[in-house]
Amino acid sequence: SQQGEEDPQALSIQEGENATMNCSYKTSINNLQWYRQNSGRGLVHLILIRSNEREKHSGRLRVTLDTSKKSSSLLITASRAADTASYFCATESRAQKLVFGQGTRLTINP
Amino acid sequence: SQTIHQWPATLVQPVGSPLSLECTVEGTSNPNLYWYRQAAGRGLQLLFYSVGIGQISSEVPQNLSASRPQDRQFILSSKKLLLSDSGFYLCAWSQGLAGGSTDTQYFGPGTRLTVL
């Protein structure tokens, strides 16, 4: 069953602009993670935010978590062509397992 | 440092043939291991996970099975492939934490399986 739902499903922006992706989930969580996937490749972990955290930064990435709304957002600032990829949120609610959303396909136009 | 390997990278198999995909992890011990399937343009579906040798949990009843003969080896198998088994198969590992919380998962490069 799907826990996380990303929005939008696809996003196309110009290089240098900021990209924002959202994730909503249904049940209480231990943590929420964001992953990136280049076409035809495995997933790469970007950032993990725990349920008692509200915001986290890593380089050009900023993640927020609102447990009252059961939602998270991933902001990529000053986007680059190399940021083109699919981005997935994943939630951990049951021990040892993550549940992934359907992903947002981000395209950065040069 | 830890690395995860999957092979083969691509595979084309006829319907009804057997399947064996292998995943190995280096540089860590007693990892949690996972098999996922990803349909084109979709998210990941967890198929199996293992917290130790011989311990396999199945998430989705289906035509596939998994085994963990060694601590860092995870195998996905099928006796007879179906057309619907086509997809991108990803193996991942994580270091299980005290209390059972899952930390970051690290993914292999994946196997693209086409069943004809």
pLDDT tens digits, B30-79: 999 999 999 887 889 999 999 999 899 998 868 899 999 999 999 999 99
Identify any residues that bridge with A16 across adjacent strands, giving them in sequence order: none
Q: Which residue has the higher pLDDT, A72 or B101?
A: A72
B67 interface with A at CB cutoff 8 Å: no
Measured CA to CA, the distance from residue A3 to residue B88 in angstroms comes to 20
Closest to A42 (Cβ–Cβ): which among B46, B102, B110? B110
Nearest to A84 by CA among A4, A11, A23: A11
| B100 contact A CB<8A | yes
**CATH classification code of A5-109:** 2.60.40.10
Predicted pLDDT of residue B40: 83
What are chain B's domains? 3-115 (2.60.40.10)
Identify the three-state secondary structure at position B54. Answer: coil
Q: Which residue has the higher pLDDT, B51 or A83?
A: A83
Identify whether the C-beta of residue A50 lies closer than 8 Å to the C-beta of residue A66.
no
CA nearest A88 in B: which residue? B43
Q: Where are the domains of chain A?
A: 5-109
Tens of pLDDT, residues A15-35 = 999 999 999 999 888 899 999
